[in-house]
Homo-oligomer: A and B are copies of this chain.
Amino acid sequence: MASSQTSLDQIKLAMASTNDLFHTEVVIRRNFAALDEVYTSDARILPPGAPMVSGREAIRQFWADLIQSANAKSAVLRSLDVLPAGEGVVEIGQAILSVAPAGEATQLEVKYVVFWRQENSRWKWHVDIWNPNA
Interface of A toward B, CB cutoff 8 Å: 44, 46-52, 80-81, 83-88, 90, 92, 111-113, 115, 126-127, 129-134
A interface, over-half SS: strand
Given the complex, which residues of B lie within 8 Å of A132, measured CB to CB? 48-49
Taken together, the copies of this chain in the complex come to 2
Q: List 13 A-B contacts (CB under 8 A).
A: A46-B112, A48-B48, A48-B132, A49-B133, A49-B134, A52-B92, A83-B115, A84-B86, A85-B115, A90-B115, A92-B127, A113-B129, A129-B130
Given the complex, which residues of B lie within 8 Å of A115, measured CB to CB? 83, 85, 90, 113, 115
A113 to chain B, nearest CB (A): 5
